[in-house]
Structure 1
Amino acid sequence: MDSVQEEPNVTSNGNPSHIQDKPKSYIKERIISSVVLMLYMCANVSSVPVFTQYIHSRYEDVYSNGTNSSSTSPNKQSPCLANNSEEADEVQVLVQQSTSFEILKLSLCVQIPPVIVNMVVGSYSDHIGRKLLFVSPLLGCICKYVVFILVVKFHLHLNFLILGTLLEGFSGSSSTFVLANMAYAADVTKTHATRTFAIVIADSSVSIAIALGQVMTGFLIEKLGYFYPSVINTALILLATTIVIFCLTETVKKTEVKELSPVVHLKKVFGFYVNKSRGNKRCIFIACLAVYALMSVGFNGKYTIETLYQLGRPFCWNPVKIGYYGAYSTVFMTISGLVAIKLGSACVRVEILAVTGMFLLMGSLILEGLASTDAMLYSVPLVASISAVSVPVTRSVLSRMVAAHEQGAIFSSMATVDTLCGAIGSTAFTSLYSATVETMRGMAFLVIAGVVFMAAMVKIVVIVKSPRQPGYVLLQSPTEDEHAHNPDRILPEGENNTPCSSTDKGPVII
């Protein structure tokens, strides 16, 4: 497969007159893909607090003998604040446990099917193109919201939500959409420096979109209930789908898929981690995937229970507070991560920044688990600060270790692990939260901190065992990028002399 990025940017006689043409031709693609990414994430990630708050409100109605107030009276006072008696505390525990169980069912429905989908869809996209990876999860998200709108409008049984989340799950869900964006970012970048920056920018776009979505959703729920926010989010997804179909440029030259067997594509997706011919790189692949898996378990577990944690005592936050906190947390950590990458990468290896972010994330999780006041909870993002760089750095390392025609496969392996570990994290920590909500509500956050600690230890071992490479400034094109297409360039000591890829000849920085 020949992607657009592999087309030569110099003439056969060595005339460099076209060297600057290729980067300019990618500006449109980067802007459009970022807009689509922001629209999708703004709408889709908002579904977690919307669904959680709606289900929580429905169970408050049930246990408080309410009637349909969750959709008709969004400004009603929450039973969490209305009564501080021992009986009210017992009711709140029941509400939290019931909501946890419903969220667990929905999480499994939306996370288990993508494990199967992502095993092969990324590898196929290296032949049939990237657009399918964008369109499929967009349509799945529309189905999820349409079912939710019907449940809210007609006050249907909560089990109907399972249908919508299953449809989204079999479309690939957000993990396939992230796979599409990361593979697309790799297609439109030529060097490991610009690729890392593109992936960090993509993650930052996600963060901005999430912040906007959470603020908007919080206000709309408080003023209008749960129906209209869902309608607006559906409209955003429809807009993103239209842009992908009619405006997004395909970056892959479609070729015939010579082998349709999923087994062959599974071997492509997971061959990086089992193929002994890759030499010492195989250990790096495995270690990076282990770090990525542990971080996925932690992040998915945290995000699944965080809104529920804020809804309960002693916080009893309303939708506006939850939206404000989500936006503030996301924006602050994103800006901190970008500043850390920009300034810190000139002095230390970015992997050092990633490990530092993991330890800060651990501290923030411990603080969140022990929080008893709003002020303590608002301090959590301050402690976490640069933790947002940990996952993008790991993605970038894996991406630049493979060839251009393997980008779909490598991101498919990450998406598969992300969905599988997401299901594990959501299940484990939602169950733990439900079991400990009556005794120690923050216990789940403390256990997540332990998972992040294990990821940090693995990353430290990799850094210590890997030879220090000279080119660790990621936001400036290193000198070796000028010779990125020189097949005779000798790699630094510790690497194979066979080039890592046709588009990325830079040293592997671990």
Structure 2
Amino acid sequence: MDSVQEQPNVKSQETASNVHDKPKSYIKERVISSVVLMLFTCANNSSVPLFTQYIHSRYEDVYSNGTHSSSISTNKQSSCLANASEEAVEVEVRVQQSTSFEILKLCLCFQIPPVIVNMVVGSYSDHIGRKLLFVLPMLGCTCKYVGFILVIKYHLNLNFLLIGTLLEGFSGSTSTFLLANMAYAADVTKTHATRTFAIVMTDSSVSIAIALGQVMTGFLIEKLGYFYPSVINTALILLATAIVIFGLTETVKKTEVKELSPVVHLKKVFGFYVNKSGDNKRSIFIASVIVFALLSIGLNGKGAIEILYQLGRPFCWDPVKIGYYGAYSTVFMTISGLVAIKLGSACVRVEILSVTGMFLLMGSLILQGLASTDAMLYSVPFVASISSVSIPVTRSVLSSMVEAHEQGAIFSSMATVETLCGAIGSTAFVSLYRATVGTMRGMTFLVIAAVVFMAAIMKIVVIVKSPRQPSYDIFQSPPEDQKAQTPDHNQYGTIPKGENNTPC
């Protein structure tokens, strides 16, 4: 491992030479990359309500002997409100089970391929250029929407959705797109600044885009059905792609990749967790990545079933209600997280805020699992409040513990863990929901709360262990920030985080 650890120093010098001489102003690059991020996030995350509600509507038609109206419009009232008989309840349970099975298949197609891609893509990104990492996921997302549009237009078998989703998965999907944003942010950022607040601020812009997409999608589904929202989202993705190709400045000169063996790149990505040292730094790394993994499992599981849960009894929400709730939940929790980080960090360590957020998230999941009225469900984001800081703080912990030349490797590591755990969480909790929807459909949220509780306990271990090594103060400014950075420093300043809002 020692030989592997020496290589980043050489690569750091190569990377510095690969990056163009930075201009005096980075406003143009930052604005364009932010616009691209907002467009992609808004369009891509809108596929969650679109796919879930369309599939649910298709199965309502099947089990209710209905027409193909689901492919055109959703003006009809949900069947779960129209009839409360025992037969109607049984039909609604079968609809939920069939829909959850289709979502499970989409999850596997969407989340398994990026695990392979993300293992090495971060380490290669300094040679192949940033634009390619932006464009590939957007083309994959376009394929997903084209497949969806064809299924709606011609009322094809739902299995055709798997083709476009699988193509998106092999493009690297959301995780690769976010990794491209991390690398590009590093190229156009001079200093580290306040890492945690920068991460949360970037998360906030992503959250706003998600909220806008959810509200827009809810209204469009209600008024126009599923076809036209899909066309609009495809247009947004193509617009973002054109902006990247013609408007985004390439910050890296393409060079030959000297080491093609993926083994070397895998060692760089995962060497943090196996490198032997005489202190507890490795144990903090491992504990932190376990926290990150558990949160990813829980949040992906929650995202996979939340809309399906709202469509079923006793809520029977329509697309507009689902859109409103998604926007309200996202915006409220984002604002709460920003306020907590900005004001609370002056009084307590941000790690304490992170643990508090996890316990609040656990409470909100219990409430969500036991909810029986709309009012109880609307109070879930209020209880969760500052839980949105938990993952950004964990990212910041891992990022702050490594040197500047190791940032690409640590981000690839997190992307791989997040994608793999997303697949595990989606598969496990969608399967659990499918098995318990006829008995206690809220059981899945209670189990997710137990996973979050384990993450909180592990986080407490990190807090207790980290102060014992002052040199590894997890929020100490890295060396490159203690001196005014020159254009030769390649620092990953702002880190956009995926909300794990995928078709899963």
Normalised to the residue count of structure 2, the TM-score between the two structures is 0.89
Please say if residues 400 and 474 of structure 2, whose CA atoms lie closer than 8 Å, have aligned partners that are also in contact: no
- Kindly report which structure 2 residues correspond to 1:51-200, keeping only aligned pairs within 5 A, or say none: 51-200=51-200
Residues 5, 341 of structure 1: alpha-carbon distance in 2 compared, 3 angstrom cutoff: farther
Task: Name the counterpart of 1:15.
Answer: none
- Kindly report which structure 2 residues correspond to 1:7-46, keeping only aligned pairs within 5 A, or say none: 25-46=25-46
Amino acid at match of 1:47: S
Shift of 1:23: 9.7
Shift of 1:187: 3.8
Please say if residues 191 and 484 of structure 2, whose CA atoms lie closer than 8 Å, have aligned partners that are also in contact: yes
Amino acid at match of 2:50: V
- Kindly report which structure 2 residues correspond to 1:204-215, keeping only aligned pairs within 5 A, or say none: 204-215=204-215
- Kindly report which structure 2 residues correspond to 1:195-274, keeping only aligned pairs within 5 A, or say none: 195-274=195-274
Shift of 1:270: 0.9
Residues 504, 407 of structure 1: alpha-carbon distance in 2 compared, 3 angstrom cutoff: closer
Alignment deviations for residues 260-310 of structure 1 (CA, whole Å, 9 cap, x no partner): 111111111111111225953322221211111111001100000000000
Shift of 1:29: 2.4
Distance 1:305 1:271 in 2: 35
Amino acid at match of 2:260: L
Residues 502, 203 of structure 1: alpha-carbon distance in 2 compared, 3 angstrom cutoff: closer
Residues 159, 252 of structure 1: alpha-carbon distance in 2 compared, 3 angstrom cutoff: same
Deviates more, 1:27-36 or 1:245-254: 245-254
SS of 1:276's equivalent in the other structure is coil
Task: Name the counterpart of 1:283.
Answer: 283
Distance 2:270 2:425 in 1: 22
Please say if residues 126 and 406 of structure 1, whose CA atoms lie closer than 8 Å, have aligned partners that are also in contact: no
Distance 2:416 2:472 in 1: 31
Please say if residues 361 and 449 of structure 1, whose CA atoms lie closer than 8 Å, have aligned partners that are also in contact: yes
Give unmatched runs, 5+ long, in structure 2. Answer: 1-10, 494-504
Distance 1:417 1:193 in 2: 26
Deviates more, 1:409-418 or 1:191-200: 191-200
Shift of 1:134: 1.3
Amino acid at match of 2:59: Y
Amino acid at match of 1:176: T
Amino acid at match of 2:225: G
Please say if residues 191 and 481 of structure 1, whose CA atoms lie closer than 8 Å, have aligned partners that are also in contact: yes
Give unmatched runs, 5+ long, in structure 1. Answer: 8-20, 487-500, 506-510
Distance 1:224 1:268 in 2: 49
Shift of 1:479: 12
Deviates more, 1:241-250 or 1:136-145: 241-250
Deviates more, 1:395-404 or 1:410-419: 395-404
Percent sequence identity over aligned pairs: 83
Shift of 1:129: 2.5
Amino acid at match of 2:236: L
Q: Does 1:349 align with 2:388?
A: no
Distance 1:87 1:177 in 2: 46
Residues 190, 347 of structure 1: alpha-carbon distance in 2 compared, 3 angstrom cutoff: farther
How many pairs does the alignment contain? 477
Shift of 1:405: 3.1
Distance 2:335 2:22 in 1: 29
Shift of 1:198: 2.8
Shift of 1:401: 2.5
Shift of 1:504: 8.9
Distance 2:34 2:239 in 1: 14
Shift of 1:195: 3.4
Residues 392, 342 of structure 1: alpha-carbon distance in 2 compared, 3 angstrom cutoff: same
Q: RMSD of aligned C-alpha atoms?
A: 2.7
Distance 1:424 1:37 in 2: 26
Task: Name the counterpart of 1:11.
Answer: none
Amino acid at match of 2:294: L
Shift of 1:139: 0.6
Amino acid at match of 1:145: Y
Distance 2:190 2:457 in 1: 32
Q: Does 1:303 align with 2:303?
A: yes
Amino acid at match of 1:178: L
Residues 388, 187 of structure 1: alpha-carbon distance in 2 compared, 3 angstrom cutoff: farther
Residues 278, 35 of structure 1: alpha-carbon distance in 2 compared, 3 angstrom cutoff: farther
Deviates more, 1:143-152 or 1:22-31: 22-31
Distance 1:299 1:103 in 2: 16
SS of 2:258's equivalent in the other structure is coil
Residues 195, 331 of structure 1: alpha-carbon distance in 2 compared, 3 angstrom cutoff: same
Alignment deviations for residues 436-475 of structure 1 (CA, whole Å, 9 cap, x no partner): 111111000000011111111111011011117699998x
Residues 386, 222 of structure 1: alpha-carbon distance in 2 compared, 3 angstrom cutoff: same
Please say if residues 137 and 176 of structure 1, whose CA atoms lie closer than 8 Å, have aligned partners that are also in contact: yes
Please say if residues 285 and 398 of structure 2, whose CA atoms lie closer than 8 Å, have aligned partners that are also in contact: yes
Please say if residues 218 and 324 of structure 1, whose CA atoms lie closer than 8 Å, have aligned partners that are also in contact: yes
Shift of 1:24: 6.0
Please say if residues 43 and 233 of structure 1, whose CA atoms lie closer than 8 Å, have aligned partners that are also in contact: yes
Task: Name the counterpart of 2:435.
Answer: 435
